Amino acid sequence: MTTKIRIFAAALVLAIAAMAVAQPNSSPANMPNEATIMGFLQQMFGYDSAISYKISSMKPAEAPGFIDVTVILTNPQGDQALNFFVSPDGKFALVGQLLDFGADPFSRYRNLLKDANGPIKGPKNAKVTMVEFADLECPACKAALPNLEKMQSENPDVKVIFQNYPLEKLHPWAFRAALYVDCLKSNNDVAWKFIDSVYAHQEEIKDENADAMLKTYATEAGADNQIAACIADPKTKANVYASEKLGDSLAVNSTPTIFLNGRKISSFNSLPYDTFKQLTDFAIKNAK
Tens of pLDDT, residue by residue over 131-177, are 999 999 999 999 999 999 999 999 989 999 999 999 988 899 999 99
The answer to whether residue 164 sits within a structural domain is yes
Q: What is the pTM of this model?
A: 0.79
The answer to whether residue 55 sits within a structural domain is yes
Do 90 and 112 fall within a single domain?
no
- In angstroms, the CA 111 to CA 47 distance is 44
The answer to whether residue 215 sits within a structural domain is yes
Do 239 and 275 fall within a single domain?
yes
The answer to whether residue 102 sits within a structural domain is no
Q: Which runs of E-coded beta strand occur in 127-266?
A: 128-134, 158-164, 257-260, 263-265
- The pLDDT value recorded for residue 77 is 67
- The pLDDT value recorded for residue 14 is 37
The answer to whether residue 269 sits within a structural domain is yes
Do 85 and 175 fall within a single domain?
no
Do 263 and 130 fall within a single domain?
yes
Q: Spell out, as residue ranges, where the chain has pLDDT lower than 70.
A: 1-30, 77-78
Task: Using alpha carbons, select from 30, 91, 97, 90 the residue that is nearest to residue 63.
Answer: 97
Do 89 and 223 fall within a single domain?
no
**Which of 69, 95, 121 is the last residue in one of the domains?**
95
CATH label of the domain that carries residue 170 = 3.40.30.10
Do 88 and 117 fall within a single domain?
no
Task: Using alpha carbons, select from 266, 235, 239, 227 the residue that is nearest to residue 250.
Answer: 266
Do 73 and 165 fall within a single domain?
no
Q: At what angle do helices 188-200 and 139-154 cross, to 10 degrees?
A: 130
**Which of 65, 95, 125 is the last residue in one of the domains?**
95
Domain count, the chain: 2
Do 91 and 112 fall within a single domain?
no
The DSSP 8-state label assigned to residue 62 in this structure reads S
Do 85 and 115 fall within a single domain?
no
- The pLDDT value recorded for residue 80 is 74
**Residue 75 Cα distances to 2, 39, 50, 93, angstroms:** 9, 19, 6, 23
Do 116 and 72 fall within a single domain?
no
The answer to whether residue 85 sits within a structural domain is yes
Mapping DSSP to helix (H, G, I), strand (E, B) and coil, where does residue 113 land?
Answer: helix
**Which of 50, 70, 95 is the last residue in one of the domains?**
95
- The pLDDT value recorded for residue 200 is 97
The answer to whether residue 101 sits within a structural domain is no
Do 174 and 231 fall within a single domain?
yes
The answer to whether residue 192 sits within a structural domain is yes
Do 207 and 120 fall within a single domain?
yes
* Helix or strand holding residue 228 (H, E): helix 227-232
Show the domain range for 179: 107-285
Positive/negative CA dihedral, 206, 166, 34, 264: negative
* Helix or strand holding residue 69 (H, E): strand 67-75
